[in-house]
Chains A and B, each alone.
Chain A
Amino acid sequence: MTELTKLTLADAREGLRRKQFSSTELARAFLAAIEAGNKALNAYVLATPERALAQAKLSDARLAKGDARPLEGLAVGIKDLYCTKGVRTTAGSNILDNFTPTYESTVTQNLWDAGAVMLGKLNCDEFAMGSSNETSCFGPVSSPWRRKGSNVALVPGGSSGGSSAAVAAELCLAATATDTGGSIRQPAAITGTVGIKPTYGRCSRWGIVAFASSLDQAGPIAKTVRDAAIMLRHMASVDPKDSTSVEAPVPDYEAAVGQSIKGLKVGVPKEYRIDGSPKEIEDLWQQGIAWLKAAGASVHEVSLPHTKFALPAYYIVAPAECSSNLARYDGVRYGLRKPGHDLIDTYEATRAAGFGAEVRRRVLIGTYVLSAGYYDAYYIKAQQVRALILRDFTEAFEKVDVLLTPTTPGPAFGIGEVSGDPIQMYLNDIFTVTANMAGVPGISVPAGLSSEGTPLGLQLIGRPFDEATLFRAGQVIEDAAGRFAVPERWWA
């Protein structure tokens, strides 16, 4: 049955409809793979076999009746940032302790309504703050990828590191993820998977543990561009429970997959060529340009002059919003409590014990930049810079239809290799954070291997609500580059 775990989401959908196997068989194959491999990978923080088999049984009944919903019987993993009713949800933080939501996030509800089956909850950086999945209270996730001839454990990226590792290691057909500064696209890029952050407002944020509300977006990590298109269509919705959910029908993204890009205008932003960038990143980029040209697109240099300010502006806006969002963890209503000698002392002891070092650092930065006397100099300044970043994109999209860039400045690094200076870790998001600041959609598609034999991705950034063009151009890259499977299943 292990062969079932190798299927793409689209092929598994086809196999279930043709009755080549049952949803129960599919779920059992993944549960066995999780049982065998999760100890080494640490991708799942909670497997939910009983729930998976119960959902699969219902799916099998519907498939037998010819009453299948769009994702009927397809086994997926859920980032532990999504609230799941009756299933422990931690956001990778000790402060949520054994929090068990009494409600379901809109995105996961959409997936269950479409017939998907939940295998379990996936590891992530604490409150989605990190680029390596090393800040999780459950410990780091190991990427299934290793450097050629080495057994050093590599990071799967972050914050959606459990999602990227689980998809790459075939511990689920696809996974949900979230992206505040690059947390879908960076892990996808360095694990050879596809990840899309849709336009801000496309997926409901309701029931997803909040980090920075003006930047957070849900999206999928999947094996192929088509699988990501299928997932996104059934994650996205118009939701009255999220006031930033945009009132626009969700298109059939899958219909765009495989369509020609003849005549598509592709922009190459010159500011994404940074000093000291490895030659293999530049080569990958040039290769991507050649592939898109060969498929009939025209390529144009464009300028996004405020690019280099996106990351520092992000490290004002995101901590500011996080310090505000995380004020809710008070040890009173849910989660951890460390009793103190009075109420304030209880708050302070609880938050010191419950938050990890990176979360504390960001809450403190956020508190500082929002404090009296500093608000204009930091927060207002950053939001002004953000307006200029959006203006850069708006002007570029008057000339071109889509932008092509590298996803990350380099390949996966080893667990513990980037530590000490927090800014070195933040630089992982240098090419992805701009799309969050402007709210525009971005997809990462596997495009090649580094000199170390580990995956690299290319990013396509589109106009607001033009995810269809990203899937269309993304498929062209996938067709040209091929797919990248982990060479050796060392974990099971």
Chain B
Amino acid sequence: MQVDEKTVRRIARLARIKVTDAEAKALEGELSGILDWVKQLDEVDTRNVEPMTRVTPMTLKQRADVVTDGGIADDIVANAPAREDHFFVVPKVVE
């Protein structure tokens, strides 16, 4: 077992996903199984191998630092589950 229930709860908290007790128990086995399986990568000698950063040999593109879009506040809030005018409405975060 690579991950115990406590670890499941810690990563679920980091990932901002609520898990029930039953789910945490099941995930313990599922996540451990996957992590045990990927551990076979330890067989590969990767000393002096540069980790891949991109698949095609290209330098990242740059563009002029100018405004190319904007004035679309209506569009941006159009799909918000709760909004007021051009604001997203969220639960109170500051007392």
* Nearest-neighbor residue (CB-CB) of B57 within chain A: A464
**In the bound complex, do residue B30 and residue A422 qualify as a contact, i.e. CB atoms below 8 Å apart?**
yes
Nearest Cβ in chain B — how far from A196, in angstroms?
A: 17
Which residues of the other chain, A, contact B50 by a CB distance below 8 angstroms?
384, 387
A287 in the interface, Cβ–Cβ < 8 Å?
Answer: no
Binds B, one of A174-182, A334-342, A405-413: A334-342
Which of the residues B12, B16, B56 comes within 8 Å of A464, measured between beta carbons? B56
A109 in the interface, Cβ–Cβ < 8 Å?
Answer: no
- Tell me if A's interface is mostly helix, strand, loop or mixed: helix
Which residues of the other chain, B, contact A244 by a CB distance below 8 angstroms?
54, 56, 58
Q: How far is the CA of A487 from the CA of B13 in the complex (A)?
A: 51
Q: How far is the CA of A378 from the CA of B8 in the complex (A)?
A: 17
Nearest Cβ in chain B — how far from A161, in angstroms?
A: 23
Known contacts: A102-B78, A337-B81, A339-B91. The answer to whether A243 contacts B41 by CB under 8 A is no
Q: How far is the CA of A306 from the CA of B15 in the complex (A)?
A: 32
A54 in the interface, Cβ–Cβ < 8 Å?
Answer: no
Q: How far is the CA of A378 from the CA of B76 in the complex (A)?
A: 37
Q: Which of A304-349 contact B (CB under 8 A)?
A: 306, 308-309, 312-313, 315-316, 323, 327, 330-337, 339-349
Nearest Cβ in chain B — how far from A101, in angstroms?
A: 8
A26 in the interface, Cβ–Cβ < 8 Å?
Answer: no
Q: How far is the CA of A360 from the CA of B31 in the complex (A)?
A: 11
Residues 336-369 of chain A, each 1 if its beta carbon lies under 8 Å from chain B, else 0 = 1101111111111101100100001101110110
A214 in the interface, Cβ–Cβ < 8 Å?
Answer: yes
Q: How far is the CA of A243 from the CA of B60 in the complex (A)?
A: 6
Which residues of the other chain, B, contact A103 by a CB distance below 8 angstroms?
75
Interface residue count on the A side (C-beta < 8 Å): 70
**In the bound complex, do residue A323 and residue B15 qualify as a contact, i.e. CB atoms below 8 Å apart?**
yes
Q: Which of A37-84 contact B (CB under 8 A)?
A: none
Nearest Cβ in chain B — how far from A8, in angstroms?
A: 32
Which of the residues B49, B76, B80 comes within 8 Å of A388, measured between beta carbons? B49
Q: How far is the CA of A195 from the CA of B43 in the complex (A)?
A: 33
Q: Which of B67-93 contact A (CB under 8 A)?
A: 72, 75-76, 78-82, 88, 90-93
9 A-B pairs with the lowest CB-CB distances in the bound complex, closest first: A439-B55, A383-B51, A334-B79, A337-B81, A384-B46, A102-B75, A352-B18, A348-B18, A312-B38
* 21 pairs, CB–CB < 8 Å, chain A vs chain B: A214-B54, A214-B55, A243-B61, A246-B56, A246-B58, A316-B38, A316-B41, A331-B81, A333-B79, A334-B79, A337-B81, A337-B82, A343-B90, A345-B91, A363-B17, A365-B31, A368-B7, A368-B31, A371-B14, A385-B44, A390-B55
Residues on A facing B (Cβ under 8 Å) = 97, 99-100, 102-103, 199-201, 214, 240, 243-244, 246-247, 306, 308-309, 312-313, 315-316, 323, 327, 330-337, 339-349, 351-352, 355, 360-361, 363-365, 367-368, 371, 378, 380-388, 390, 421-423, 438-439, 464
